Structure 1
């Protein structure tokens, strides 16, 4: 018989089993959806307010400490026609501490939300039409369990070592962000967060591992397939079909006495999978079938993946460069946090919207952060289809984790399941052992000696090295195929944040020393896997989060509750004061100024770091992953795009910085501050210009430069205005240096890069003197704008900084979708911005000014 799958997603009810609150669900109530968690169901029945709104987080904290049960009656049980047939209940994910009962008999206990379970219930089910089979899931709250585990195992660390939540979170295998983080509230969920189903079968394929080995010539690939069989089948048929469904390989393999099978299928001249921008994303289908009984499929993109760590010309250390199909990839992109605290709300559509947005922003890699989850299959399927590489952390973040024998066994099981589940995806580029645990070991003085590679480390207060240096690498060696394992993010060199080796997290800007963002250049490293700068979300999003008009200002309690970043208020003021004239009230000004600040920081970082991808042997920086792409609630954070999908100014800066062909500029210090004089900036009267070519072949281009007085808009003569240049493929090329003269601090320079053959505009960059607070802008600029079809056309008679377009809230509805935004204008040109969803509404436009002569207009 064919395996039959019966979803168990109907007639679920829930109730609270620890009455901690007067508004609790004291009787069985229908669930809001399935899968689900308690917060969703309480919201559905108006038993709690939305924890994302106002200060409702405080009113909902009791839910984190409550226990809940979920119950349903199983669908009719099929009659079994053979003694060999069995019925298995499958639980894809249970959050987190749960005892499962079938007809009041305990069948499963689980303490890990990241693993799935299969329970044979053949002998426990009644097939009588007059009998019901009742399934009940009894959840105990995770914080209480974790505190008991911490006491049982013993915590060797110090409470100050834990970021964020309490140290108990380290002792339970649950998504760590549920304890709250510096970008979101404490919403500690419980419930059946993934699907539940019943399988009826005689024979079944399980544990399927599909991996690939591509020849160096790229002319063939060996697809390896292994797994296990339940039910005594003697053979399994392995089939590979191409993207059109044509069979390109077939093998029949035997099953051994333990039920295991293994085989290889060779495919000649495969169509290669590429990151987007480098080629197409064809996907093959690999099938393992017990004929007449069960078929399992995996979609696979054929690509040869390497992580290169070779020596570099003229600099210490080694590269950290991802190579796909022989091409070294500059991995510009972002980090991903879970899309919702209430994870069952995430859908394939929501994942696709976010990842499509990343692709629209020219982001070729996304890092799945270790404080969340190994994401839904939908996430990785989308990345495969869109051509986005995935950096995947294992699920440990910012903490000194235990390493008792039972904890390590649970971690090993979890890692095996997750590597098997998602390890076949072409988009998967690396497994990292954790997020920042080695960095914290160095910061907080844990007993960590990098020279001690033998262990055991049980006697130290950093026992989790056993997990990162023994358990996880062994699992990856056995199951991960060609996807490399890296001990941590960050990791490498003499310290975890060594600028010469491995990857780094750059947090001395904004956090730590609160260095100026102009210091990003000094933190250039081989691969920046995390850095960021906070800003407010859109005004619409803040109005969603803060319902009281009297609280809609940046110093209100409600506003503060929606910005979890420590010390955020002093940082906004300090960084703004260092860089430009600003105003934080009314709230619309705060939104503009903080987004301006974040965007300028991103511009500075990307401008310098991408410059350092200089070609073979000179990959001084091979990747930039900004913290973070997305937001999880309507708050102020490091996200490029807020929870409503409203793009911040930094999204557009990042998009322009990661174009395939770009031009960049930097003002070079040409002198020093006079002796015995302070508080004056060093003169920068020379301009270095370079370009990056992300295509593999050379480009013949024409570079054009123009300069203007900022205050008057008058064009200024430059020593060189035009030059023919050749851009080498897949690297940056230094172009020239230009003298700006003594008036450099009063002028803006724009660079244009055009295709020499077609005249097509390939890139544009506007360079301003710094700090902007010293700049005198035009008092009465004539800024023109008009809507032409699906575009807004902007022009000005004087240099304008940071033009941001939006539809006023008073016009109703969501903001329009802008192809570009946060642009600089110079005289004599038009900037055309595509727009969707404008629908004849007004357009509000604002830019940086001296605030005494504030300008803005509506269309």
Structure 2
């Protein structure tokens, strides 16, 4: 008997446009740019479209979305034994595709998200010794989706579809391909994942591995089920669990049943446990199932006890929403993930690693994979396992009133089963959510949604997709997801989907909705914030890449506007900036600085207040903050913390510091108010509240040291002796309220800095600089100098100033190539202190600094 052989079908592929449009640019077969591929990549490679990520080329390439394309290649010769089976495997076809072997139709695909396996043993035997052409005919998804919408019937009224048209809801394709408020509309088609042949006599056709750790963490059970294709009853399957070092932990041989299935449980004593990186290591065990000499399948797992706690709170309404890993209640700070590219075949494992490693470097414990994109590549979850990052995974429904006809639900069921089976063993995966914002939209747009009707059926309503979220998906997760919980939607819980006291919330009344000041984030405290955000520009380098015409490089140009899909963005930049600080939006470098400053300050306010509310057991008033969003998909302006070229914005560094293992926080509180009706005068805030938040699992003895400075002169302000320094016992894994500091009547001119130091060693553990608000009323020292000193080996930059300086951003000048990689940035300075910033990649180049108001004193800004 011969072992299973896999032969890639990745050579000699050609493509052409297979239907006539006004611009039928690829009318004859041309070689593909790569494989796997999609049509946009191949057209771009041959110069038939311009890069849709640059300038306004997106508009000129919209025709590709509505075109049909054919791909073809010759199958490699197959020296298969006569007793073997031959399968043709398509890991992903985007999206409506008719597959032919020569002239024989062998497959019709209507779902981008599933794998297809076709037995071609018999067809190949009939053409033995002849060339066999594999031909993939792709029909454009928008046309097909419109036909499906007409066939099934759309029950919505159109108000619930903000991105693309309602037709996108009727086809199982990544929804962001219709365009979103952070990226262009590139509706791709093509063989977007690998194609290969498998030749075998017997193979393991399914392997499902789940684990369960005991409450005392001293033992674990590995649950293994699977099946063997072309295997008779009683076929022996060898099961083995290997430790992270490769040693065998346990081994067992079992026999298949009459229908070829196998199932068992293996017990592991004293397993080495997997933790989020903030709490421990990430040992990964290898579970294998083998048909000796024929086929072996493996899964990497981490042993961890996972629970989603929703307990009553001691002092607040509602219940907690807390992820517990190995009996540790985890604060899940992190961000949301959108797909890394619209042209997916070019998104490589190394790019996944770069992005997830960057998230970890920013102290992000959790990444939420948003439902308008993908259940990502296996590489994504494997890398998250290695790095110790928790993953929240939405099912693939977003912002729409989806149908629930019998055939649509059947398609969804098959897709969801496949995805849960494919990635469900990963230790990093901690929740499946039914969709993104569909219940929230039901409430907003008045769909027929009765939260008290839990029985259904809901076919007669205009919100039929409840059948998917409340019947189809939970049944699949109950059967296949192991210990990973299912949650109906994000957001969901309580009397409304966005109830602040139960479940998770999306906080969009800042920036969107009411457009509340970002200082209102405190009033939107909720149990788990799974989405919120604030727009800003990408780096100047990235904008120069996006906008090639110098005359268009300003924030009010047509090209700039084309790269900012957020509705109402221009009025919001001006409004929020005008409320908070003196700003300048031209030239473009100033817009970049000011918009990024605004985003960073908003994030600082949110994280400062919300993480404070993770107060300990029974007081997990907020257990998670996931900012929208981590990444960008193209060189545009969006809510991302990091732009498409991995250029970290100031907001990235704000969240990094806010999610540190130990944080000291401060907030000025109102201490008085005038009884008269006056305007423009801020309420007196002559006191500062101070607290510490710890992610350590043991209490810490620390010393809090406080200093204050007059902002305009840089002179140190004397604080009462008893308030300059105090001993603090910082509780474990929660918040310690330290006390208050009186600043006095000059609070509006005074900056306060807090240092938390180790009581034994004097090592600085945390730092916070607190400023009066709004910053637009603050008078900075005229002519303040920021001193920059580069260390001998260019691994560190020291910065200091002779007066308080707000928001110092370090960079290499754009004319000197790529920026360096900064360990920290967007730093506040006070006199008498040198701040050290780690850096990589300076290569002898100059370091420049920008800070709030460094343009004041220039023409038009004389003070």
After superposition, give the CA deviation of every residue in 1:54-101 in whole Å (9 maximum; x if it has no partner): 00000000000000011000111123242xx20001110000000100
For residues 67 and 390 of structure 1, what CA distance do their matches in structure 2 show?
36
CA contact (8 A) 1:78 1:127 kept: no
Equivalent position of 1:169 in the other structure: 168
Once superposed, which parts of structure 1, at least 4 consecutive aligned residues long, lie more than 4 Å away?
Answer: 126-130
Superposition pairs of residues 75-114 of structure 1, within 5 angstroms: 75-82=76-83, 85-114=84-113
Equivalent position of 1:759 in the other structure: 762
CA contact (8 A) 2:701 2:727 kept: yes
Equivalent position of 2:361 in the other structure: 360
Aligned-residue offset at 1:254: 2.2
CA contact (8 A) 2:156 2:462 kept: yes
For residues 609 and 432 of structure 1, what CA distance do their matches in structure 2 show?
23
Superposition pairs of residues 261-280 of structure 1, within 5 angstroms: 261-280=262-281
Aligned-residue offset at 1:851: 3.7
Aligned-residue offset at 1:127: 8.4
CA contact (8 A) 1:74 1:135 kept: yes
Aligned-residue offset at 1:458: 0.3
Equivalent position of 1:527 in the other structure: 528
Equivalent position of 1:377 in the other structure: 378
CA contact (8 A) 2:80 2:199 kept: no
CA contact (8 A) 2:288 2:296 kept: yes
Unaligned runs of 5+ in 2: none
Question: Residue 845 of structure 2 is aligned with which of 828, 841, 851?
Answer: 841
For residues 421 and 577 of structure 2, what CA distance do their matches in structure 1 show?
48
For residues 87 and 262 of structure 1, what CA distance do their matches in structure 2 show?
26
After superposition, give the CA deviation of every residue in 1:299-328 in whole Å (9 maximum; x if it has no partner): 001100100000000111000000000000
Question: Residue 822 of structure 1 is aligned with which of 819, 822, 826?
Answer: 826
After superposition, give the CA deviation of every residue in 1:685-715 in whole Å (9 maximum; x if it has no partner): 1100000111100111000000000000111
CA contact (8 A) 2:36 2:345 kept: yes
Aligned-residue offset at 1:126: 4.7
Do the aligned partners of residues 617 and 716 (structure 1) sit closer, same or farther apart at CA in structure 2, a change above 3 Å counting?
Answer: same
Equivalent position of 1:116 in the other structure: 115
CA contact (8 A) 1:251 1:263 kept: no
Aligned-residue offset at 1:740: 1.0
Aligned-residue offset at 1:664: 0.3
CA contact (8 A) 1:820 1:833 kept: yes
Equivalent position of 1:801 in the other structure: 806
For residues 133 and 53 of structure 1, what CA distance do their matches in structure 2 show?
40
For residues 678 and 508 of structure 2, what CA distance do their matches in structure 1 show?
31
Equivalent position of 2:312 in the other structure: 311
Superposition pairs of residues 674-689 of structure 1, within 5 angstroms: 674-689=675-690
Aligned-residue offset at 1:677: 1.8
Question: Residue 735 of structure 1 is aligned with which of 722, 738, 749?
Answer: 738
Superposition pairs of residues 306-705 of structure 1, within 5 angstroms: 306-705=307-706
Equivalent position of 1:259 in the other structure: 260
What SS class does the counterpart of residue 240 from structure 1 fall into? Answer: strand
Aligned-residue offset at 1:853: 2.1
Equivalent position of 1:16 in the other structure: 17
CA contact (8 A) 1:79 1:127 kept: no
For residues 672 and 437 of structure 1, what CA distance do their matches in structure 2 show?
43
For residues 740 and 630 of structure 2, what CA distance do their matches in structure 1 show?
35
Aligned-residue offset at 1:257: 1.8
Equivalent position of 2:835 in the other structure: 831
For residues 292 and 264 of structure 1, what CA distance do their matches in structure 2 show?
24
Do the aligned partners of residues 149 and 127 (structure 1) sit closer, same or farther apart at CA in structure 2, a change above 3 Å counting?
Answer: closer
What SS class does the counterpart of residue 159 from structure 2 fall into? Answer: helix
CA contact (8 A) 2:17 2:24 kept: no
Equivalent position of 1:242 in the other structure: 243
For residues 854 and 606 of structure 1, what CA distance do their matches in structure 2 show?
34
For residues 358 and 21 of structure 1, what CA distance do their matches in structure 2 show?
45
Aligned-residue offset at 1:678: 2.6
What SS class does the counterpart of residue 160 from structure 1 fall into? Answer: coil
For residues 224 and 737 of structure 1, what CA distance do their matches in structure 2 show?
53
Aligned-residue offset at 1:840: 1.0
Equivalent position of 1:212 in the other structure: 211
After superposition, give the CA deviation of every residue in 1:126-150 in whole Å (9 maximum; x if it has no partner): 5877510110110000000000000
For residues 810 and 699 of structure 2, what CA distance do their matches in structure 1 show?
36
For residues 676 and 551 of structure 1, what CA distance do their matches in structure 2 show?
46
TM-score (normalizing by structure 1) = 0.98
For residues 140 and 126 of structure 1, what CA distance do their matches in structure 2 show?
30
**Alignment pair present for 1:775 and 2:778:** yes
**Alignment pair present for 1:59 and 2:63:** no
After superposition, give the CA deviation of every residue in 1:637-694 in whole Å (9 maximum; x if it has no partner): 0000000111101000010100001100000111123322233221111100000111
For residues 750 and 391 of structure 1, what CA distance do their matches in structure 2 show?
36
For residues 800 and 41 of structure 1, what CA distance do their matches in structure 2 show?
50
What SS class does the counterpart of residue 659 from structure 1 fall into? Answer: coil
For residues 86 and 652 of structure 2, what CA distance do their matches in structure 1 show?
50
**Alignment pair present for 1:725 and 2:724:** no
Aligned-residue offset at 1:850: 7.0
CA contact (8 A) 1:582 1:851 kept: no
Greater shift in the superposed pair: 311-320 or 846-855: 846-855
CA contact (8 A) 2:580 2:773 kept: yes
CA contact (8 A) 2:40 2:64 kept: yes
Equivalent position of 1:143 in the other structure: 142
For residues 687 and 844 of structure 1, what CA distance do their matches in structure 2 show?
33
What SS class does the counterpart of residue 161 from structure 1 fall into? Answer: coil
What SS class does the counterpart of residue 289 from structure 1 fall into? Answer: strand
For residues 127 and 755 of structure 1, what CA distance do their matches in structure 2 show?
78
For residues 755 and 81 of structure 1, what CA distance do their matches in structure 2 show?
73
Aligned-residue offset at 1:207: 2.1
What SS class does the counterpart of residue 419 from structure 1 fall into? Answer: helix
For residues 218 and 829 of structure 2, what CA distance do their matches in structure 1 show?
49
For residues 347 and 833 of structure 1, what CA distance do their matches in structure 2 show?
31
CA contact (8 A) 1:673 1:680 kept: no
Q: How many residues align?
A: 852
For residues 498 and 23 of structure 2, what CA distance do their matches in structure 1 show?
50
Unaligned runs of 5+ in 1: none
CA contact (8 A) 1:673 1:681 kept: no
CA contact (8 A) 2:706 2:724 kept: yes
After superposition, give the CA deviation of every residue in 1:464-512 in whole Å (9 maximum; x if it has no partner): 0000000000000000000000000000000011010000000000000
CA contact (8 A) 1:390 1:430 kept: yes
For residues 125 and 74 of structure 2, what CA distance do their matches in structure 1 show?
12
For residues 322 and 130 of structure 1, what CA distance do their matches in structure 2 show?
59
CA contact (8 A) 2:808 2:828 kept: yes
Do the aligned partners of residues 830 and 610 (structure 1) sit closer, same or farther apart at CA in structure 2, a change above 3 Å counting?
Answer: same
